[in-house]
Structure 1
Amino acid sequence: MLRVLAVDDEVPALEELAYLLRQDPRIEHVSTAHGGVTALQDMVQMIGTGERLDGVFLDIRMPGLGGLDLARLIGGFPSPPRLVFVTAHEDCAIQAFELEAVDYLLKPVRVDRLAEAVRRLESMTSPAGDSAPEDVIPVELGGRTRFVAQQSVQFVEAKGDYVRLHTVDGSYLVRMSLAALERRWAGSGFIRVHRSTLVSVRHVSEMRFDGGRVMLQVGAETLPVSRRHTRQVREQLVRQFQDRPLPSGAAR
């Protein structure tokens, strides 16, 4: 069960968010704070009393202490709670994910999107030793939300302020930086092969040399590895393939 804090400088928005959170059976307790300064004071008090706080649902544009600045301060806590941004503004998504936000919800908040944010928050606050559910990226498609599973992503391309997720079924444009996604999926088998490309090792079927350059076969695509990343990519792929289980009766 989760204990969360909702933060907004507008009382009606704060009350609505708190109400929706309290309807979710996965949430044990919802505290509220009217603005960033009050939220910071409340969290410092919680730390002092040993009270557990799993997540903070916070607005971005607030007078005095905005959501992004508050998030940076929270990041300095000994055991910082996870962050979910809830805002009417689309232009801060990259900064939010660089701060390792669990999710980025747009107002007015939809019940299904809030439920997904809570699910992701719950998965990331699982007790040590539990197998954490796989990460997913929510993608807005014509008023619908599609959840792209991490394991389905073959490779990712940087596209300015966006990234394009390439899967077997298609590609999806998401507003976040490649650096933020690389940090988010660190340790999950994704490696940087180029300044603008991140590749899932599990989807690499072949590594070869072509004109002095290393090339990777990823699904139906052939992707070049930059010289800067060649050594790291080769070493990681060798380790990955050595760790893969062999078919029954096969020998290395």
Structure 2
Amino acid sequence: MTGRPGQSPPRGLRVLAIDDERPALDELAFLLRQDPRVQGVLTSDTATEALRVLQDLAVDAVFLDISMPGLSGLELAQVLSRFKSPPPVVFVTAHDRHAVEAFELNAVDYVLKPVREDRLAEAVRRVVEGGGRPAARTDDQIAVELGGRTRFISRADIRYVEAQGDYARLHTTQGSHLLRTPLATLEAEWREAGFVRIHRSLLVSLPHVQEIRTDAGRCTVLVDGKELSVSRRHTRELRDLLVRRTRPGGGT
């Protein structure tokens, strides 16, 4: 990093990595140290120890696991949010089910394990640029990146959504777009707009379901001409929702 003439170059980030599993913590710390924007990495294997560190030292960001004995990562983030100057928080976890809670705590990012170097670099970039939730969205317009540019698409044009790691791929009639948001987050936020989960890796827009088919106990739906599998656990709920939509005044 270089500064303007006559100015000192900006220092790199000092971050705190927290995970109760030592191999995962060592790997996270190693990857963070490879990033040229990171100057120093502190580590802790418990949230309680991390609090003691944070009482004595200021850090630029906290990268923490969620499932830990004693104080969990979510509980630690709640404590940090009450700091006078709370550090940006990036959750690094093996589970996507806590994504909604994490973003309610104003997490800068939510990275799924196993951690990829390029994905962690993206989280560091968000910290450097001031945090905030990725891919700012309004109720109808979704911001997606395309060829280095940000483009806005209408949520009404999205037929179905497919999980891809800690990203979601939005499928429209014009093509598909990657969104840096876990599927679990979209499921919670978009349910009122008619999006429902039909499989652990799929959400569909109910208004765009053309057919529901059953063959030898296997259920599928036809969406924009594409046949999508429905898992057993979601079949009954999907049928009920589709039936309610066909009734006068029906909805999701």
Please report the TM-score for the alignment, with normalisation by the length of structure 1: 0.54
Counterpart selection for 2:110 from 104, 108, 118: 104
Question: What amino acid is aligned across from residue 17 of structure 1 in structure 2?
Answer: L
1:35 aligns with 2:31: no
What's 1:154 paired with?
153
Question: What amino acid is aligned across from residue 81 of structure 1 in structure 2?
Answer: P
What's 1:20 paired with?
31
Distance 2:155 2:108 in 1: 19
What's 1:6 paired with?
17
What's 2:242 paired with?
none
State the shift of 1:154 in Å.
3.4
What's 2:130 paired with?
124
Gapped regions of structure 2 (runs ≥ 5) = 1-11, 137-142, 195-252
C-alpha contact (below 8 Å) 1:102/1:121 kept by paired residues: yes
C-alpha contact (below 8 Å) 1:155/1:166 kept by paired residues: no
Counterpart selection for 1:56 from 39, 47, 62: 62
Distance 1:177 1:89, change over 3 A: closer
Distance 1:72 1:166, change over 3 A: farther
Q: Which segment drifts farther, 86-95 or 53-62?
A: 86-95
C-alpha contact (below 8 Å) 1:85/1:103 kept by paired residues: yes
Counterpart selection for 1:72 from 66, 69, 78: 78
Please report the TM-score for the alignment, with normalisation by the length of structure 2: 0.54
What does the per-residue CA deviation read over 1:189-208, in whole Å, with 9 as the maximum and x for residues that have no partner? xxxxxx649xxxxxxxxxxx
Distance 1:6 1:27 in 2: 12
Count of aligned pairs: 164
Secondary structure of residue in 2 paired with 1:124: coil
Distance 1:124 1:166 in 2: 30
State the shift of 1:171 in Å.
5.7
Distance 2:25 2:64 in 1: 9
Counterpart selection for 2:121 from 115, 124, 134: 115
Secondary structure of residue in 1 paired with 2:43: strand
What does the per-residue CA deviation read over 1:123-143, in whole Å, with 9 as the maximum and x for residues that have no partner? 116xxxxxx9x9548xxxxxx
State the shift of 1:177 in Å.
4.6
State the shift of 1:169 in Å.
4.9
State the shift of 1:15 in Å.
1.1
What's 1:175 paired with?
183
